[in-house]
Amino acid sequence: MNHEPNAGYPGKGSEAVSLVEAEQTGLWHVAPHGTELERTSSPSGPVYNAGEIRTWHDGLVACYRDSEIATPQAA
């Protein structure tokens, strides 16, 4: 069994960074051409925060792990 924190859940680190950045900047969705689609607060710059990123990452991995346990796998 692989005990790496992100094993089996690729992309959760970048997903966590994206969520923290959206929370900090208030910008959640941008159109392909750059138009803001969803902003929840005034513009502000992101600040690197390892603790917030780790919290989101761990929560995402737990959510995916729980959904795999709850979903019967085809044989």
Is there a domain that residue 4 lies in?
no
DSSP bridge pairs for 27: 39
pLDDT at residue 50 in the model: 95
H/E run at residue 37? strand 36-39
The count of domains in the chain is 1
DSSP bridge pairs for 29: 38
Is there a domain that residue 6 lies in?
no
Please state the pTM of the whole predicted model.
0.70
Is there a domain that residue 2 lies in?
no
pLDDT at residue 35 in the model: 94
Is there a domain that residue 26 lies in?
yes
CA gap 38, 44 in Å, rounded: 14
Domain that holds residue 36: 12-70
User: Tens of pLDDT along the chain (75 residues)?
Assistant: 444 555 667 788 999 999 999 999 999 999 999 999 999 999 999 999 999 999 999 999 999 888 777 655 555
Is there a domain that residue 7 lies in?
no
Is residue 14 within 8 Å of residue 57, measured between CB atoms?
no
pLDDT at residue 19 in the model: 93
Is there a domain that residue 3 lies in?
no
pLDDT at residue 9 in the model: 74
